[in-house]
Amino acid sequence: MARVRAKGMWLELHRSNRPVTGASRAPDAVAAAVRAGDLVVATVPLGAYERLPAAELAGRTVFDTMNYYPERDGRIAALDAGGLTTSALVRRHLAGAHVVKAFNNIDFRRLFTLARPVGAADRSALPLAGDDEAAKERVARLLDTLGYDAVDTGTLDASWRSEPGTPVYVQPYLRARPEGLSEEDARRWFFDTPGVPVPAERVRELTASAVRGPAGGSRAALADG
């Protein structure tokens, strides 16, 4: 949040309004913030996508970072049937919003450590997909401000090209994990290991070479990859 604010942007973080004790904001405060922001980032486990406030988000640009992990999200029949991308599912729920998919193919640690200023030789790129050109432009500008080039991979229907299991998903930005680490060492390695810069041309190649498989990722496959 400090890095985003240092770029002259205002960022508000809202929690889910699940009936929990503690810091969750009142629903009316969340709705007001959603209406006031230029861009809304929707980043919850996909199994909770129907909790995103569709009425408040109509007409807004919604930045969708979400992925489908059945072991976490439960099985979503509409995705398991094949043919529907996760962002198209989100679009169906958020009728009237301009959904743009990005940030879903890089882990949160590398997202932070691989950010570089415009023109840096080791600047990375991230794919983005969406149906509305102006909304994509808005998200691309945000990526640029946060330290990434954007590679437009097409519409939300084409966004399977960056879903779990595809060549551009997580692994290119992350070094191969050494074998035989204990759980504790693996955690330390995850936090300490530097990322691998992935330039725009490589993102284009990786997304172009993707072959569509069944919906949904497996965390075990990700760890072993």
Ligand X SMILES: NC(=O)c1ccc[n+]([C@@H]2O[C@H](COP(=O)([O-])OP(=O)(O)OC[C@H]3O[C@@H](n4cnc5c(N)ncnc54)[C@H](OP(=O)(O)O)[C@@H]3O)[C@@H](O)[C@H]2O)c1
- For residue 216, the minimal CB distance to ligand X (Å) is 11
Closest separation in Å from C-beta 20 to ligand X: 6
Count of chain residues binding ligand X (CB under 6 A):
16
Token pair of 208 as six digits: 């172009």
Site for ligand X in 22-41 (CB under 6 A): 24
Of all residues in the shown chain, the one whose CB is closest to ligand X is 15
Beta strands across the sheet bearing 61-64: 39-42, 61-64, 98-101, 125-130, 149-152
Among 31, 39, 41, 65, binds ligand X (CB under 6 A): 65
CB of residue 119 vs ligand X: minimum separation in angstroms? 26
Among residues 17, 11, 15, 66, the alpha carbon closest in space to that of 37 is found at: 11
Q: Tokens 């191969």 identify what position?
A: 176
Token pair 């604010």: residue: 5
Of 45, 143, 77, 174, give the one whose Cα is nearest residue 151.
Answer: 143
Segment contacting ligand X by CB under 6 A, of 4-12, 42-50, 147-155, 205-213: 42-50
Among 2, 6, 8, 18, binds ligand X (CB under 6 A): 18
* Rounded Cα gap, residues 156 and 161, in angstroms: 10
Asked if 16 is part of the footprint of ligand X (rule: CB under 6 A), the reply reads yes
Would you tell me which residues interact with ligand X (CB under 6 A)?
15-16, 18, 24, 43-46, 48, 51, 65-67, 104, 107-108
